[in-house]
Amino acid sequence: MALIDSCPGPQGLGGLQATAQGRSQQYALGQIGECYRANQQTATISSQVVYAVDPVVYAVDPGYTYLTGGPYYSSVNFTPKAIPDPRIAAEERFYEEERARQRLHRVEVTARAESLLLSALNPIQAKDFRTTREFTVISKDGKRTYRITYGIAGNVILIEKGKPVARYCIYPIGIPIEDVMLAQKLMLETDEESFIRIANRTPIRGLERVVLVAA
């Protein structure tokens, strides 16, 4: 319906070539009282006029009456309303669908990983995990106790005499958190020496210790 064109009016504003009641008219884009035409008469837009000021697309609804006629261009007394550019709308729809798909994917992945983890925990650990998202693991020789907290890095805590004394950072890459926790548990229970050798160890002192004990 509408063509972008330049307005040859006195202000030299950008304008719009549109058709109203079968007549081709030209008016300024969103400018009120800036473009004039002599011998004013009224005209009514017969169908929706759509024009673009990149990247926004505006529309003038049918039925809008405006002044026109003469060698100069009339003022255009409307407030343009933005309507979505079909290209942008399609792009936004695509990204929204993609985000929804990824959210669903994350939920499925987490559920699968949690299911695998729970299938490998004993009933006490499973109950603990369901309640606190953490569980306790006893080393293979039964001498040390570790608390695996929900996370990937630095989430394995060595407990001695009921108090946290060190934090271990060790993990496989590219798998969900629950799988990481399971990998840490399996390694601690079967090959603690390698676990300690590979992991980075950070002593827990001061305030962090107080906070962890309180928790």
Which residues contact another protein (rule: CB under 8 A)?
108-113, 115-116, 118-123, 140, 152-154, 167, 169-176, 178-179, 182-184, 186-187, 189-191, 194-195, 198-203
**CB of residue 106 vs another protein: minimum separation in angstroms?**
10
Q: What kind and span of H or E run contains 179?
A: helix 177-190
Residue type, 33: G
**CB of residue 183 vs another protein: minimum separation in angstroms?**
4
Residue 93 or 101: the one with the smaller Cβ distance to another protein is: 101
Two tokens, residue 81 = 């309303």
Residue 2 or 118: the one with the smaller Cβ distance to another protein is: 118
Nearest in space to 20 (alpha carbons), one of 41, 1, 39, 4: 1
Compute φ and ψ for 11, nearest 5 degrees.
-85, -10
In the numeric block, the tokens 């009933």 are attached to: 123
**CB of residue 94 vs another protein: minimum separation in angstroms?**
23
**CB of residue 212 vs another protein: minimum separation in angstroms?**
13
Q: Are 85 and 57 in contact (CB under 8 A)?
A: yes
Cα Rg, the chain, nearest whole Å:
35
Burial of residue 133 (CB within 10 Å: 0-12, 13-18, 19+) is middle
Residue 56 or 152: the one with the smaller Cβ distance to another protein is: 152
Residue 3 or 116: the one with the smaller Cβ distance to another protein is: 116
Residue 162 or 174: the one with the smaller Cβ distance to another protein is: 174
**CB of residue 147 vs another protein: minimum separation in angstroms?**
17
